[in-house]
Structure 1
């Protein structure tokens, strides 16, 4: 009986807090990375988020995490579990500093609830980044050419969606980059700051993909280092990852403001800065859509589409290239968020994902396509797109958001051959 009460209490607390916050299931799901139907299953105790997701859900609902942790204790019944998290964000600078120095300092133990070693063993590539960011490994300065090469190799691992390799590489890279920057002076220090910014951008990218709280710290440090470099491209790249952390907790307006302001500061007449400007506006379009601002989102996409037609392909950006294909992928994602996925079907039909530049980008395109078909209620096409994600980037399909989508499909009305085996293989369902 005690176990049943614990399970019932958990769903009841979520349902009651959501009602008090005057949020629909869809609105709460948007803030936490779940679908409305997944929130419904959580409230009926048919789906259980993991410990870190519980804390983030409490933040979304404006209640103490202890209220939910107490009802999600070790004696709860065995229910379907999806490891979905939601990176926190603060619009206010003071509160953001409190988050960075307070909640995150305790994140690896009290929030995540497992030690670094056991978390790494669980297959989460970003496990332990919270600890690393507050206590970087001791390192000696290295030649700038070597540091640049090591950062380029880390970026290559990200683009290949080798997230476990990247997670192992980043602590040493960050320690060496910090030490090299601190030992340098003059122009060498500016150069080292630019490389350090890129290392922190990669850290924020990985943490955001894994819904880790470390994204906030890494993005903040990336922007500080980028500004110290005096180089506009790293500033744009760092601003983008910082805006993503802002958007993911509902601060979409602040994200759009940051992105459009930084985009306006970039020289659209120079190819590389123009390409970064385009990526900032793409992210701004998605952020505007997250806030329900259809006209702003579509206007930003149209502006970028006009720009990229005049740009040659520019390599070196972290996750988004300024190409027509990237605009199309973002347009599909924007239409999904705006609740009009049917408008993306024609775009998806004309998108040649196989020609996109990296496994990470191709996996992202298939992810947005899967979300489109899922929103349209086509389970078989959703699963087919998820299978493409797995073929392009096996570690990508194990991300919390993709596991949540897989679980949502698994418990949906349509029976899809092979889906259960896929869910077990990707960690969305316990074996």
Structure 2
């Protein structure tokens, strides 16, 4: 196959494909699009990156994944080659046939699951529960995977009802009730997407924003559990946010996508995304836009710190702190809280603690920890973040007693927070340290570490 020049855009058009004497329907094309999307997300690629690799526009890839366009044979061959898919495993190769003794509905279910498995398997992941027990008692990641690739049908509701449901889900996140949020998300996502699909005009744009924010919550939840499904969830969030045309929602979605990029060891790309988005929002009208820009700069600073880019981290935090200060000085603080984080002095102090710990200078985070009053932080999730950041800071300073005290504080304000993988690992490290600290064995027992 000849190499394609970078930036070349090939025509992608719908064309029915004959397979085993039949024609690939639009329903099957949508399923093929789902497999392509799942493989792309599992490989940590954006639509723009896949498009660049294949010589297509990002919008063309988006339409293919949505099942709105069917690529010609040579176009499809380029896509599956880049993603490491096989036409035969997708049921589209000449040798691939479906059983003749199944009903149309059964055939559809079989093909859908075949496509989903093939898409995730291309990157070494699985879209389906590994065991019957996992299927019977799905965790948050399994539920999000189901919402991503096998959504349930739902009845559209009014935008007012959808807004109330989204607010309730956001409250579960800010209260650190992650199990409740995980149980509610599939229904919320299904309802939001059904409502969007049934809407038109401005109402459809508003519904896109609700869909985006529901996926932001799904991404936040997946990030709490260090789950790989955070990437495809963030991808869905950004796509819906862009369709909404709302720059604030786009900023919220860009933030969670950048965090997944950092977790995938792509800090430079994450910082670039955050800087560009913050720059756009910072120049726009409205206090909320500037507040979101400040939160993006904080996230970029922490990302730079994790990559040991000290100068960048400190410069970005200084810019974020200045942006927050200008909001306060102008008495222009947003009337309502931002979606999952806030642009406040206390929020900046939390990030300073995390930035200095990640840079290996935890002692420089001590003044910020000392001047923070946890009870004044707006939500249980933020108070738990304070406890988490302090625990890591004290651990790096070698003070195990204060590390345990910070973890116990976190448990008191948000019991589910200390059961996250990262904090369980920290608790285990304390449990098996040469010197036993009072309270650590009991904490380990309560959180399932021992």
Report the alpha carbon displacement of residue 115 of structure 1 after superposing the two structures with TM. Answer: 4.9
1: distance between equivalents of 2:341 and 2:128? 33
Cα contact 1:89–1:249 (8 A) shared by 2: yes
Report the alpha carbon displacement of residue 130 of structure 1 after superposing the two structures with TM. Answer: 1.4
Question: Which residue does the alignment assign to 1:387?
Answer: 408
1: distance between equivalents of 2:209 and 2:128? 32
Deviation digits for residues 50-87 of structure 1 (CA, Å, limit 9, x no counterpart)? xxxxxxxxxxxxxxxxxxxxxxxxxxxxxxxxxxxxx9
Which residues in structure 2 correspond to 1:112-261 (within 5 Å)? 115-120=133-138, 124-261=139-276
2: distance between equivalents of 1:223 and 1:362? 27
Moved more, 262-271 or 378-387: 262-271
Deviation digits for residues 292-347 of structure 1 (CA, Å, limit 9, x no counterpart)? 11011011111111111122443342332000111111011011111111111122
Report the alpha carbon displacement of residue 114 of structure 1 after superposing the two structures with TM. Answer: 6.5
Cα contact 1:197–1:223 (8 A) shared by 2: yes
Query: TM-score, normalization: structure 2?
Result: 0.71
Report the alpha carbon displacement of residue 247 of structure 1 after superposing the two structures with TM. Answer: 0.2
Query: TM-score, normalization: structure 1?
Result: 0.74
Question: Which residue does the alignment assign to 1:93?
Answer: 49
Deviation digits for residues 340-367 of structure 1 (CA, Å, limit 9, x no counterpart)? 1111112211111111000000001110
Question: Which residue does the alignment assign to 2:442?
Answer: 421
Report the alpha carbon displacement of residue 128 of structure 1 after superposing the two structures with TM. Answer: 2.9
How many aligned residue pairs are there? 339
Q: Cα gap change, 1:133/1:322 in structure 2, threshold over 3 Å: closer, same or farther?
A: same
Report SS of the residue matched to 1:292. coil
Cα contact 1:88–1:213 (8 A) shared by 2: no
1: distance between equivalents of 2:256 and 2:370? 29
Q: 2:347 aligns with which of 318, 321, 326?
A: 326
Report the alpha carbon displacement of residue 113 of structure 1 after superposing the two structures with TM. Answer: 5.9
Structure 2 gap segments, 5+ residues each: 1-41, 54-78, 85-115
Report SS of the residue matched to 2:365. helix
Report the alpha carbon displacement of residue 89 of structure 1 after superposing the two structures with TM. Answer: 4.2
Deviation digits for residues 209-263 of structure 1 (CA, Å, limit 9, x no counterpart)? 1111211111000000000001101100000000000001211000000000111
**Within the alignment, does 1:399 sit opposite 2:355 as a pair?**
no
Report the alpha carbon displacement of residue 132 of structure 1 after superposing the two structures with TM. Answer: 2.5
Q: Cα gap change, 1:113/1:254 in structure 2, threshold over 3 Å: closer, same or farther?
A: farther
Report the alpha carbon displacement of residue 144 of structure 1 after superposing the two structures with TM. Answer: 0.7
2: distance between equivalents of 1:148 and 1:169? 14
Runs of 4+ aligned residues of structure 1 deviating over 6 Å after TM superposition are: none
Q: Cα gap change, 1:282/1:109 in structure 2, threshold over 3 Å: closer, same or farther?
A: same
Deviation digits for residues 138-163 of structure 1 (CA, Å, limit 9, x no counterpart)? 10111111001100100000000011
Structure 1 gap segments, 5+ residues each: 1-86
**Larger RCO, structures 1/2 (Cα 8 Å, 6+ apart):** 1
Report SS of the residue matched to 2:326. coil
2: distance between equivalents of 1:336 and 1:207? 23
Report the alpha carbon displacement of residue 93 of structure 1 after superposing the two structures with TM. Answer: 2.6
2: distance between equivalents of 1:119 and 1:335? 39
Report SS of the residue matched to 1:161. coil
1: distance between equivalents of 2:405 and 2:141? 27
Root mean square deviation of aligned Cα = 2.3
1: distance between equivalents of 2:382 and 2:199? 35
Q: Cα gap change, 1:145/1:98 in structure 2, threshold over 3 Å: closer, same or farther?
A: farther
Cα contact 1:130–1:213 (8 A) shared by 2: no
Question: Which residue does the alignment assign to 1:17?
Answer: none
Question: Which residue does the alignment assign to 1:306?
Answer: 322
Moved more, 172-181 or 99-108: 99-108
2: distance between equivalents of 1:376 and 1:186? 56
1: distance between equivalents of 2:260 and 2:312? 20
Question: Which residue does the alignment assign to 1:12?
Answer: none
Q: Cα gap change, 1:428/1:170 in structure 2, threshold over 3 Å: closer, same or farther?
A: same
**Larger Rg over CA atoms:** 2
Cα contact 1:353–1:362 (8 A) shared by 2: yes
Question: Which residue does the alignment assign to 2:120?
Answer: 102
Question: Which residue does the alignment assign to 1:277?
Answer: 293
